[in-house]
């Protein structure tokens, strides 16, 4: 409820003027130390495929990503990431462009910290790029979580800006594609903040 109210307040304040230094969502820094925003890619659940791993008692759901490749290419095996979450004290007047960024990055509206996100590898399957989710059955229904063995550890460092965090990887990443997913239920389609290491 508080998050919804915050978005409504920000929306009322939105104007056609460009906001100064407005950042919301997930960013990285390129080799020139310039911030680049990582846009989310939609996970196309219509291609879900139920499979079973050897010696694993729970089924694994393979979910496919709509885009053929990640837009952001990074040339380091230990990239830095920056999470910018909404602030309850934010009274910035936003441009239409910034409002679009706010809506597009809806997982960041729900998130309370980067701990609500999980970094996972993206696999190249016959039908396209995919991630694996473990199916968990509960008394009240079924839930899907990232497959435990796929989770990549990272450290979270608070930054001076309000609700801003720097992410440092615990270990270098081999070449390939990866993505951050929001690890909580939302009423919207699942998205992944994908990037590739070259």
| pLDDT tens-digit readout, 114-168 | 999 999 999 998 889 999 888 776 655 556 778 888 999 999 999 988 789 999 9
Dihedral of alpha carbons 156, 113, 181, 12, sign: negative
Backbone angles phi, psi at 16, to 5 degrees: -80, -5
pLDDT > 80? residue 92 = no
1-52 pLDDT, tens digit per residue, is 556 545 544 554 443 334 446 788 999 987 788 899 999 999 875 445 545 4
In the prediction, which pLDDT does 57 show?
A: 54
Number of domains in the chain: 1
Specify whether the CB–CB gap between 31 and 137 falls below 8 A. Answer: no
CB 84 within 8 Å of CB 166? no
Domain limits for position 150: 2-197
Residue that is written with structure tokens 């925003």 in the block: 37
Report for 11-15, 105-109, 179-183: range of highest mean pLDDT? 179-183
């Amino acid at each position: 409820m508080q998050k919804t109210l915050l978005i409504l307040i920000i929306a009322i304040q939105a104007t056609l003027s460009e906001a100064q230094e407005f950042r919301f969502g997930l960013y990285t820094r390129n080799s020139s130390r310039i911030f680049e925003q990582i846009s989310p890619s939609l996970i196309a659940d219509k291609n879900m495929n139920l499979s079973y791993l050897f010696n694993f008692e729970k089924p694994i759901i393979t979910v496919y990503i709509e885009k053929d490749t990640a837009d952001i290419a990074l040339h380091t095996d230990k990239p830095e990431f920056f999470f910018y979450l909404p602030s309850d004290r934010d009274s910035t007047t936003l441009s239409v462009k910034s409002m679009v960024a706010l809506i597009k990055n809806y997982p960041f509206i729900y998130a309370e910290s980067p701990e609500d996100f999980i970094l996972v590898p993206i696999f190249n399957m016959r039908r396209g790029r995919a991630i694996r989710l473990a199916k968990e059955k509960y008394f009240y229904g079924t839930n899907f979580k990232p497959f435990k063995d796929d989770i990549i550890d990272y450290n979270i460092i608070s930054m001076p800006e309000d609700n801003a965090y720097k992410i440092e990887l615990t270990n270098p990443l081999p070449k390939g594609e990866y993505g951050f997913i929001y690890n909580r239920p939302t009423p919207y389609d699942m998205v992944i903040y994908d990037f590739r290491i070259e």
